Structure formats: structure tokens, C-alpha cells
Chain A
């Protein structure tokens, strides 16, 4: 864009503040330049403020991310501490099992009756453990039945471990297994028959099917011990009136004779 000097008529450029020929002030260009400067200043100011805004937004965004991460970490730590605490975990698990047992009371009662009727001692022991029925007051009438099933199960498992030659866990050997069997047999009268609690014969824990189950469990234990330890009828009948140590010793003597390979590393 071109203009003329109003004093000498020379051609002037838009940015010529002064006429290069006559030296007079070009007022038009001065106004234009002042406007340009203003615009540039405004632009720079807007740019600076935008840059400042971006910087602040970047900080805010990062702070939000950090806050979210801290909250997530705290939540995970909270959940971890709940799971890592053994006693809390056990308590929660037990409470869950108890709740489920209360919800399925009819099914559990029916299954118990069936297991009791069929004299399924091992299954009964596992079922009692699975649903924690020993500590459930709803099944108090089954208390001696449960103890009979558990005693049978322990004796059966010890015999099985002697026969199959399972090395066992630390401190477990055929001597300890025989002693363990001795404990359960010697304690039968006290804890299964209820002598320890002075159970009356008409107690609900010994009524109906319960009495038959307990009697049959005792006979089954007797047969198992007689067969697997090769005891005479006299020995096996006497066994019930012997103390723990005497039963354990008698069984271990037989064990050494019948299952020598299992006793080699003892």
C-alpha cells in the first residue's frame, strides 16, 4: 500500500513514520504503526496468558492423576490388609460358612440323616468339617455322632498311612500313628459314649439312629484295628479297657512285625 507526503508529494511506504525526502512527520503511518504495536502487544499478552493457562492446567491434570492413584493405592492397601490378616480372613470365612449353613439348614439336616443311616463315617467327618457343624448349636443332638465319625476317621487315616507307607509330615511316623490310634480308642468311652459329660441314656445325643451309628462306628473301628494289626479276639476286646499308652505300644509292636518296611527309617 502506498501514499503521498502531504508536504512534498513524494511517494511514501505504509511504515514510513517520517518522509525520507522532506523530513516531515507522516501522521497516517504513525497511527498505523501505533495500531500495529497495540495489536502485537495484545497478541503477545494473549499468548503469555494462554501459555500460563496451559501450565496451570498441566499441573492440575497431574495433581488429579496423582490424587486418583493415591486413592486407588489406599483402597488396595486396605483390601490387602483385610486379606493378609490370617485371623480376619479365617473369621470372615467362618462367618460365611455359618451363614450358608443357616441358609441350607434343611438340606444339611437331610444329608446328615442320610450319611448317618448309611453309616458313612468318613463322609460324615468331611461333611461336618466342610459346614463347621461341630460348632453349630443347631446340631447339638449330633455331637456324639460327630465325635464318633471324627474318631473313626482319624483311626482309619492313621491305619491307611501305615499300610500305604506314606512318609507323613515332620514328626509323624508309625509309632506316633499307633499312639494316636491308642488315644482315640482309649478316649472313646469318654468322648464318643459321653462318659466325660455324664450323658444320660435318654439323652437326645444317644436317641434313635444316633445310638446305632455310635455303636456301629465302634464295631467298625474294632474290626479295622483287629484286621490291620492282626489282633486276636481277646486282644481287641481288651483294647477298649486299656489306657492310651498300652494300646499304642501293643499296636506298634504289631506294626513293626506286619509293616517292617514302613518302620525302617524310624
Chain B
């Protein structure tokens, strides 16, 4: 099976370690893993802003470079949702591209969903001496139904204990351009998330979407929390999160 890793633009620029962790986890499944070299961005920022033509342009590019693989794996619920749910909608009136978009949507999987679907064949190499609390990112949770998968995978990590926070399904206030354009509101929302995290008292907060994680980490640090670590689950599973 040929697996394409869709790194995502945010991981590429802001936290390459997540990409390498995902790569390591996928290679450990014994499959042929490729990082398609021309990938850039799935186009979600344009779509969120309401610019359909630009979203279509970037969707065409992504479909063309990803459609030849058996599976496309994305370490982000939000970008995976863009490909799985939005792409087919973008080409609803275009028979040819519509079909290609639907085929790609079927083959695209968020990382935790893909790894969890392998069952016992996926044994995360990571160890983590400490407790984590899991933040459910909105697009993954409510768009793709991701809830049990990352927790199941983290449960297999030696030494790790899960301490659920209150309101773990509550939005962190990121929302892409929202965090910049409505910074006051976003800050108020992420403050509530930070309070839930603090109350859970875990060593790390773990999630599956880098946007949310940067938002949470940035606010935790600004509030003076220098100790709670903020990690992508791929980093924990791959063992790249040891202190």
C-alpha cells in the first residue's frame, strides 16, 4: 500500500517535528510512505474566508498530486476535513472533478483514525512518563467524529496516564483567521480552555490540530504557565515528546 503523507502548511512552517513524527509512525506500519513533494496548502484559509474560486484552485492542485495514492494521511482533523468534506462540495457541479474529489475524499484519513484502524498492527514506539489531557479539536470531533481514536492510541503509550479536562469538547477559540481578526473574543475563549487545562493538572495538553495547539500554547505561556507542555499526539506516539 502506498501512503501519502500530507504534511499541512502549518506543520511545515511552524512545527516540522509533527511531520517527522507522523512519518515515523506511518513508516512503522510497514507500508510504502511518500511525502508528495509539490504539496503546499489544502486551501482551507481561502474557503473559510468565503473565497470559493481560490479554494477551488488549490483543491484542484491537491487532488492532482494526491489522487494516485491508496491512502492519504493528514496529521490534522481540520485539513483532513477540508479534503474529505469540502472538496466534494466544491465540485458538486463538475462531473469529472467531482468524481476525482469524491475518490480522494474516500481515501483520505486523519492520522489518528488511520492508525487506530490498524488495530494491534499499530504499536506506538513512544513512552511518556506523565499525565496528559486531551483537547478535542472541533473540525475533527464534530466534522469527522474523532474522539475515541487518539485516546485509544495514547492509551497504548507506556507510562502515559490520561486526565480528562472538563469541557474537553469546547472550542479553544482558534478558528483560523478568527484568532487574528477577532483577537479579543478569541483570547476570552482560549482563556476558558486554559482554565480547564489548569484544573485538570496534567503534565501536557495533547491534541490533533496544530492551529489549536499553537493557540493554546501561546495563551498558556502568555498567562505565565511555563510548565504545561503542549503536544501533538503524533509527537507523543512517536516518542519525540520525552522531556
A-B complex is real: no
Residues of B at the A interface (CB closer than 8 Å) are none
